Amino acid sequence: MTSETTGTHATVREDTAPGADRPVVELRGAGKTYGTIRALHGVDLAVHPGRVSCVLGDNGAGKSTLIKIISGLHRHTEGEFLVDGAPVSFSSPREALDRGIAAVYQDLATVPLMPVWRNFFLGSELTKGTGPFRRLDIARMKRTADEELRTMGIVLDDLEQPVGTLSGGQRQCVAIARAVHFGARVLILDEPTAALGVKQSGVVLKYIAAARERGLGVIFITHNPHHAYMVGDHFSVLRLGTLELSAARSEITLDTLTHHMAGGAELTALKHELARVGGVDVDELPEDPEPSVQQPAASDPVEGKS
């Protein structure tokens, strides 16, 4: 049996992010070309400690490419990528991890039949004794996993239960707690709520907020403006590989964010098309709110919330 002590609904974020100083991770005019395909171009992004930076975009917008650059899977081909203010170009995820940048993907690298505590330490098992007497320190691994999960507000009744028996949301939370334990300063969460229902999404959003409270910088990739707005301090909307919108929380409403995500101009054009085709009463369709934020200048570095 499994239980979550912290309820299931994330609290809507107030506009009160701690005064985070310089960004841990920063992209300045960054881009990536695959052969002749320009997947990402001129993107600015700043990830500060204790803040959640949301990256939204439709299919093919360039979200995965952005994550791959920051997590060390691909090198950027234009602009700058800085960690702690110094330019970097990682050649592997190991290098990114060594700098405290950890990616948690939808298809989590867990072994479903192994217990929770074993998955928590997968690949980094604790041992005791030396030489031929060296063996797994099972008691310490269970204790540490339990403590770390509790610190994040995740209480599982039985750490012996196979990780495959946890809900999708709980597995994400174990993966987040694991990354935090192994020294992540920046968490990249790739659509962590995409395959989840409302309740489990709430659980994951809570732990995103918990990671933020622990001072981590979080890059939250999502299609869902409602989820982003629950926990986000800053919002970037990508469209066809470029930054369509970059706004701090204080500069944007949920309606405006939703408008950008939905492709407001495209929806309006679609409404006109539907009116021409007939059969659809476009007056019955909901109005789309107008955007009310400035578009970022390509050369302006994206600042977090002031």
* Footprint of ligand ATP (CB under 6 A): 34, 37, 39, 57, 59-65, 241
Find the largest Cα–Cα distance for the chain. 79
Beta carbon of residue 42, minimum distance to ligand ATP (angstroms, whole number): 14
Beta carbon of residue 226, minimum distance to ligand ATP (angstroms, whole number): 17
Beta carbon of residue 192, minimum distance to ligand ATP (angstroms, whole number): 14
- Residue 32's Cα: distance from chain center in Å? 20
Decide whether 34 or 270 has the Cβ nearer to ligand ATP.
Answer: 34
Beta carbon of residue 201, minimum distance to ligand ATP (angstroms, whole number): 17
- Per DSSP, helices labelled H in the chain are 63-70, 93-98, 116-120, 138-151, 168-181, 198-213, 225-231, 254-262, 264-277
Beta bridge mates, 82: 26, 87
Decide whether 59 or 299 has the Cβ nearer to ligand ATP.
Answer: 59
Decide whether 20 or 101 has the Cβ nearer to ligand ATP.
Answer: 101
Beta carbon of residue 107, minimum distance to ligand ATP (angstroms, whole number): 13
Beta carbon of residue 101, minimum distance to ligand ATP (angstroms, whole number): 18
Decide whether 63 or 259 has the Cβ nearer to ligand ATP.
Answer: 63
Within 8 A by CB and 6+ apart from 89, the residues are 75, 76, 81
CA–CA distance, 303 with 46 (Å, rounded to integer):
6
> Which has the closest alpha carbon to 189: 98, 199, 197, 206?
206
- Residue 203's Cα: distance from chain center in Å? 14
Decide whether 64 or 256 has the Cβ nearer to ligand ATP.
Answer: 64
Decide whether 213 or 266 has the Cβ nearer to ligand ATP.
Answer: 266
First-to-final CA distance of the chain: 44
Structure token pair of residue 135: 């063996």
